[in-house]
Amino acid sequence: MLSPASLGPREVLHVGSAGLRARPVRVVLSALGIAIGIATMIAVVGISASSKAQLLQKLDALGTNMLVATPGQGMFGEEVKLPKEAPGMVGRIDGVRQVGATGDLEVSVRRSEKIPVEETGGITVKAAGVGLLGTLRGAMASGTWLNDANGRYPSVVLGHVAAERLGISRPGQQVAVGGRYFTVVGILRPLPLAPEIERAALVGWTAAGELLGFDGHPTAIYERSTDASVHRVRDLVPHSVDPQNPRNVQVSDPSSALQAKAATEGTFTGLLLGLGGVALLVGGVGVANTMIISVLERRHEIGLRRSMGATRGQIRLQFVTESLLLSGLGGIAGIALGAAATYAFAAAGGMPWVVPLWAVAGGFGATLAIGTVAGLYPAVRAARLSPTLALQAV
């Protein structure tokens, strides 16, 4: 008995791509739906991953080992003050590497004395210790930080938000603080972990006491410890600052907000992926429609191949292969478009460009699955055509 010749991978690829080569415009239009769906999915995952990577980079740069101790509330709601020696007490805790402190002042800062005192612009005035900048891992946009020399005189360092609101662009200008003029010696860069410092005018600890009536009690103590001792230090800070009433001291972690944001990044990714999946499904319907039309148009070809010995299985394989190639081309184009969109978004926002490998592999796998499903019915229909009837229809 005669047996039909088998088709190797090369022959299968050749016959499967014949329909695509003959109708390039239809191929482009059919693959476009698949490309849009995959591009949407890749871009959604890539943008979310890039944004999360940027947050993690910020956390690595800023560190998650900083704690802030502030006064709590007394048992009867009375005002609580931290001891003047509190920064030194915190600095003696084992594992603490850096300590900085600020103290709130009941004075206002204005561009000039002619501006009403009530118009504060949301800017506060704080006494600042010399070690504050290092503890916050801050940097100067311009000028210098407070030190033991300029911290004794009427000099002030402005947070970048405070400088913008006061209209100060460079050191050397003066602002009115508590009824007298202070010289701006520096302007800080943004401090994501200390937004209260960004909106503050900072004066030296000594000058605050001698010129502005500061009582020396800190209202916020910032400390940096080793990563391994953060949790232990957090438990020890209240007892070290106020051994008799540790409940009067509140300890917070400023980096927790960024950590929570990084953890929740991509909350809406599932919804957007669903929209991309709908677009991909619509593209799959378009591929199925294209394949059905292709079967109807190529009945003579199918009948001729069947009459020359091609089996039904080989006809099915031909059209499933054609559907897979069509979907695969759309998937490759969609991956490229999604990666390009992610790159453009990341470059515009100063983010690292991240496209997860699992998203690329999953997206391309989805296109192959869609192509298989979309081509299965047309392939079965083509295989069931009678060679005699197919040749007579021409």
Dist. CA 44–CA 53, nearest whole Å: 14
What pLDDT was estimated at residue 393? Answer: 52
CA dihedral 173, 176, 179, 185 (to 10 degrees): -50
What pLDDT was estimated at residue 302? Answer: 75
Place of tokens 């800190």: 218
Task: Identify the helix (H) or strand (E) that includes residue 70.
Answer: strand 66-71
- Overall average pLDDT of the 293-305 stretch: 77
200 has pLDDT over 90: yes
What pLDDT was estimated at residue 145? Answer: 95
pLDDT band at 166 (very low <50, low <70, confident <90, very high): very high
Task: Identify the helix (H) or strand (E) that includes residue 102.
Answer: strand 96-105
Burial of residue 140, with CB atoms counted within 10 A of its CB: 0-12 exposed, 13-18 middle, 19 or more buried: middle
Nearest-5° Cα angle at 332, 327 to 333: 95
Rg (CA), the chain: 35
DSSP 226-260: -GGGHHHHHHHHHHHH-SS-GGGEEEE-THHHHHH
Q: For the chain, give the mean pLDDT.
A: 83
Is the Cβ–Cβ distance between 159 and 200 less than 8 Å? yes
The residue ranking higher by pLDDT, 37 or 174, is: 174
297 has pLDDT over 80: no
Label the pairing between strands 124-128 and 96-105: antiparallel
What pLDDT was estimated at residue 197? Answer: 93
Is the Cβ–Cβ distance between 207 and 155 less than 8 Å? yes
- Measured CA distances, 311 to 8, 20, 90 (Å): 14, 22, 84
What pLDDT was estimated at residue 210? Answer: 92
CA dihedral 71, 72, 74, 77 (to 10 degrees): 110
pLDDT digit string, tens, across residues 53-84: 777 677 666 667 888 999 977 665 667 888 89
Task: Return the DSSP state at 155.
Answer: E
- Phi and psi dihedrals of 185, rounded to 5? -105, -10
385 has pLDDT over 80: no
Dist. CA 259–CA 66, nearest whole Å: 13
What pLDDT was estimated at residue 316? Answer: 83
- Overall average pLDDT of the 129-149 stretch: 92
pLDDT digit string, tens, across residues 114-131: 777 677 778 999 999 999
What pLDDT was estimated at residue 4? Answer: 56
* Domain coordinates in residue numbering, the chain: 9-59+267-392, 66-252
Please tell me the pTM assigned to this model: 0.61
Residue 310 structure tokens: 């091609």
Is the Cβ–Cβ distance between 254 and 70 less than 8 Å? no
291 has pLDDT over 70: yes
User: Any bridge partners for residue 187, and if so which?
Assistant: 142, 158
Label the pairing between strands 66-71 and 200-204: unpaired
What pLDDT was estimated at residue 175? Answer: 93
pLDDT band at 272 (very low <50, low <70, confident <90, very high): low
Is the Cβ–Cβ distance between 13 and 321 less than 8 Å? yes
